[in-house]
Structure 1
């Protein structure tokens, strides 16, 4: 194991990309702050140099308190991965507006909270990396994804804006846009017919073989490049996914 005491903050760290990123970064000895609402999932990993906190990213005060607690122990945040997100697919003509709000709050406001918590300090130190997890649905429209696309197009757009603000301070702001990957994300959708249709589509393209670990390793690679190298936008999909 390498020894690396830089602090990495990962939101949505109890499943999917988040939990796999935690495992990958832990292999090289990074200090970690893992944030999610299901703390038991994170604590079960028993990773070294790791602090786990139950946090809702839409509550900025508790989000920031957790980051400051970790920084007091491990030093300033060198990387934050704003990964927490929900995908509630639905037809905009019939979908419950509460589901729209949930996605916009978590997927957009949660990301904005995370960026604001670390960006001013990164500017002062003239170093650091912010990685926002968007989606292929943040650049390409998909049927039954209207509100989800709205949230992820929002993440893609705000990442571009903040990148422009932070680049003069040597701070990288990256957007990762995964395609279909087998995680718990689809399980958030409440319309079973849409879930069935989504799964039928995956089977029609030969299933999806890309894994959350593949995405986590890609994110780690982008982060570990020299600070002067910014992979601004990475769209990562299964080779068989054609859209």
Structure 2
């Protein structure tokens, strides 16, 4: 197990949802962490030990890297990066504001690429490290009103596979996880109230309401704590009752 060597863990989007639950789970086992999000007060309110909380927008590569380097100066090199920050703005292609498309692509794709670029060279040199990118079931199959969101998450799935190819020979793990419908703040980003209502009705109709953000966090932690020689390359996790 990797818990004998507690390297720095960097989690983006740590102020809610999967990121917050990951922070709590890793804190229980004494990992040093860098928690990044735009709502720093939410992270600080958790009052976790050995955790540096920074207000960072992942689309700002300079600020992102500065935060990582500062944390590494205190805790050592990054052993795990979880690119979790993301937004979901649902809408129909014919009607959705293109600025929402750009915002999603900037955060969901460029933010992930920024994070990977910050840590990849150090991990290659050390021949050690793990990158876990949070994609989505919407990154492996299409859903109505999810066009730009699907585009961003298909991109995360694809670029993770490319990064894996670049890093595998250096003994660095790169994997992605695709959660299905889970109760988080993500849906609240959508500005079309009719779409939000329809999404919630769909969740209720299929019974996909029991899986939690903590379940996803535990799965990510499990994948990380496997020996370095073991890589769960692609993980799809949904409520048992979600059939799509």
2:72 corresponds in structure 1 to 71
1:135 corresponds in structure 2 to 136
Quote how far apart the aligned CAs of 1:5 are: 3.5
Conserved 8 A contact 1:136-1:177: yes
Structure 1 segments of 4 or more deviating over 6 A?
A: none
Q: Deviations over 1:73-112 (max 9, x none)?
A: 0000000000000000000100000000000000000000
1:62-101 → structure 2 map (5 Å cutoff): 62-101=63-102
Q: Deviations over 1:97-141 (max 9, x none)?
A: 000000000000000000000000000000100000000000000
1:1-243 → structure 2 map (5 Å cutoff): 5-243=6-244
TM-score (norm 1): 0.98
3-state SS of paired residue (1:235): strand
Q: Deviations over 1:164-203 (max 9, x none)?
A: 0000000000100000000000000000010010001001
CA distance in structure 2 between the partners assigned to 1:27 and 1:3 by the alignment = 14
Consecutive unaligned residues in structure 2, runs of 5 or more: none
CA RMSD in angstroms comes to 0.9
- Equivalent pairs counted in the alignment come to 242
Consecutive unaligned residues in structure 1, runs of 5 or more: none
TM-score (norm 2): 0.98
Quote how far apart the aligned CAs of 1:206 are: 1.8
3-state SS of paired residue (1:79): strand
CA distance in structure 2 between the partners assigned to 1:173 and 1:61 by the alignment = 23
